[in-house]
Copies of this chain bind each other. A is one copy, B any other.
Amino acid sequence: MQNRQAITILAALAQESRLAVYRLLVEHAPEGLAASAIAEKLGLPNATLSFHLKELSHAGLVSSRQSGRFIYYAPVMEAMDELVGYLTDHCCSQSGGTCAPARRVTAGKRRPASA
């Protein structure tokens, strides 16, 4: 995962409403939830939710699919997986610290050791 993409994802999650949306979607994975359901559960105005969904979508954290008049949003687990991988690979001690070493290899996509 590239630096810039990590920042985009971090920024997408670093906002109360968006984090709440994402967590809610994770609870309802993998089907996801319609925008109207999200708005109702979180008490967000349509326009506000749409703005945040666009941010999450742009960051690659959620996907959407249309079903009739509804648009279902679902979390993209791979994005979160890559973020966690980025953090453990680049932002944790590589020398026996607490957060890095136990990281499992999920996909072969992370760099060896250097920062």
CB–CB A23/B90 < 8 A: yes
Residue among A10, A22, A23 facing the most chain B CB atoms (10 A cut-off): A10
List 5 interface pairs A-B (beta carbons < 8 Å), by A numbering: A3-B19, A11-B14, A23-B91, A26-B115, A77-B93
Tell me whether B29 and A93 are in contact (CB under 8 A). Answer: yes
- Band of interface residues on A: 35 or more
A27→B94 CA distance, assembly (Å): 8
A interface secondary structure, majority: helix
- Of all chain B residues, the one with the shortest Cβ separation from A7 is B14
Checking B15, B26, B78, B97 against A91 with a beta-carbon cut-off of 8 angstroms, the contacting residue is B26
Say yes or no for A99: interface residue by CB 8 A criterion.
yes
- A38-83 contacts to B, CB under 8 A, are 75, 77-78, 80-81, 83
In the complex, A84 has a CB within 8 A of chain B:
yes
6 shortest interchain CB distances as A-B pairs = A10-B14, A81-B99, A11-B14, A102-B104, A81-B98, A77-B97
